[in-house]
Each structure stands twice: as C-alpha cells, then as structure tokens.
Amino acid sequence: MRWLESGSGWPVVLLHAFPLSADMWRPQLAAVPEGYRFIAPDLCTRPGEGIDGYARCAGALLDRLEIDTAAIGGLSMGGYVTFALYRLLSRRFSQLILADTRPQADTDDGRAGRQALRRLLAEAGATAVADVMLPRLLSERARREQPDVVTVVRTLIEAQPAPVLDAAIVAMMERPDSTPDLAHIAVPVLLIAGEHDEVTPPDVAQEMERAIPRARAAVIPEAGHLSNLERPGVFSRALHDFLLANI
C-alpha cells in the first residue's frame, strides 16, 4: 500500500477524493503544523468490498503504522470512506474531518450518472473521465485563473488505472446512507465546503453541522469541490485551527 506522510507528532490521516490519489494532499503535507504527522494513503479495496473495503484498507494502514488513535478525515469520496471507517472503528478517531462531501447515498439520478461514467471509462479511458470531471471538481474561477491546478488534477486523474477508477465508481454508487450516523458521532468534527462547490454545496455541510453534536463548519471562499487544491492556504488554516482547538 502506498502512502505519503510529513511531520511528526499526533497523526492526521487524510483520505483522497475520486478520481484522484493521495497526491492531492501534497499542499497540506507541505504545511504540517508543529506537533502533527500528516498521512495520506492511496485508497485500496478488493473487488466487491465497496466503501467498507476502502475503510478496512485505511484501518489496516493504522495497524501497520502502529497508530491506535488519529484525527481522520477525507474529501468527497474520502468522506464516504471516513463515514464507513467511523462505523467500523470509531474508537480509532480522536477528531473527524469531512470536506466537500455528503452523508446521503446516491439518488437514482446519481446512480444513473455513475453508470454513464463507467461506460465512458470503459469506452474512452481515464482521459475522457478527466474531461467530464474537471468542470465538476474545479470552480469556474480556478479553471480560468489557476491553470497549474487544472494541470495537476488532470494529471492525477489520467494516472489512475481504469480498474481502480471503476471499482471506486461502483463503491460510491452502492454506498449506504450515513445520515442516521450523524447524531452518534462523539468526537469533534470539522466540516469544510468550498463556497462554489456545485457537487456538495456549503448548505450540505451546514445541515451536517446541525445534526452532529460537536461539529463546526468552515466555508472556503472562492473554492469549488477540490477546496484543498484551489485554496490550499485557507483550507490548511481551517484544518490547523480545528486540530489545535481540539487537542
């Protein structure tokens, strides 16, 4: 299993979005606050194991690194995996981070869209997936003013093997509804949303804030779905402030 890490101290595990890899967290790994160790794994699973398979993979990494408890979170699909990991191993969480994600399962329309993406992947490969996903992942401002970010995201998508992408699509399409779990999350929770995220708008994070007992929401100005890449400094500050406030 491949993972990236930086810093030393209390562990913070960051789970990546679809259709990217752990490399999406490099801006945060380059700015680790003193006393923390950031760890970003490439999510892995076995065929048919779905979102829980990714969660077990993340749990296995904690075991391998001999980490009993950590701040754990993810962005988008990484958030879905975080929900699953909390259901399986809540005792391993000291804090929880949910960025640009939602607790609900896919709607019928959402599942139909994922089936269409699977067909596109099978017919035209990861490059076609990048063409479709970029306008959803990045805000219009980022696509216009941050060509370096567009290049990074496209490169990360096109580097993913088709079977890896397909497994992730199926897992997201079949994931359970995590809404009933929100009231039972017992650790401090940070909810992050890009101001211009059209996939999971800020009101989704605000709804979760009302449902989770110890949650607080932060909106990243002028950011889309990949808020950590569009506004890395603002995202990292929100994360650092949360960690330091919940030692």
Domain boundaries, the chain: 3-245
Q: Is 100 left (phi over 0), alpha (psi -120 to 50) or beta?
A: left
125 pLDDT band, cuts 50/70/90, is very high
User: Residue 66: its pLDDT value, please?
Assistant: 97
User: Residue 91: its pLDDT value, please?
Assistant: 97
CA distances 75 to 16, 68, 123, Å, are 6, 22, 28
- Please check the confidence at residue 47 and state whether its pLDDT lies above 80: no
45 pLDDT band, cuts 50/70/90, is confident
Max Cα separation, the chain?
49
Q: Does residue 191 contact residue 42 with C-beta atoms inside 8 Å?
A: no
Give the mean model confidence (pLDDT) for residues 201-218.
97
User: Residue 32: its pLDDT value, please?
Assistant: 97
Residues 113, 107: Cα–Cα separation, whole Å:
10
User: Residue 132: its pLDDT value, please?
Assistant: 97
User: Residue 1: its pLDDT value, please?
Assistant: 86
Residues 240, 246: Cα–Cα separation, whole Å:
10
User: Residue 175: its pLDDT value, please?
Assistant: 97
Residues 67, 214: Cα–Cα separation, whole Å:
23
Give the mean model confidence (pLDDT) for residues 36-49.
91
User: Residue 48: its pLDDT value, please?
Assistant: 80
Amino acid at 215: A
pLDDT in tens, 158-192: 999 999 999 999 999 999 999 999 999 999 999 99
User: Residue 140: its pLDDT value, please?
Assistant: 97
The third-level CATH classification (topology) of the domain covering 3-245 is: Rossmann fold (3.40.50)
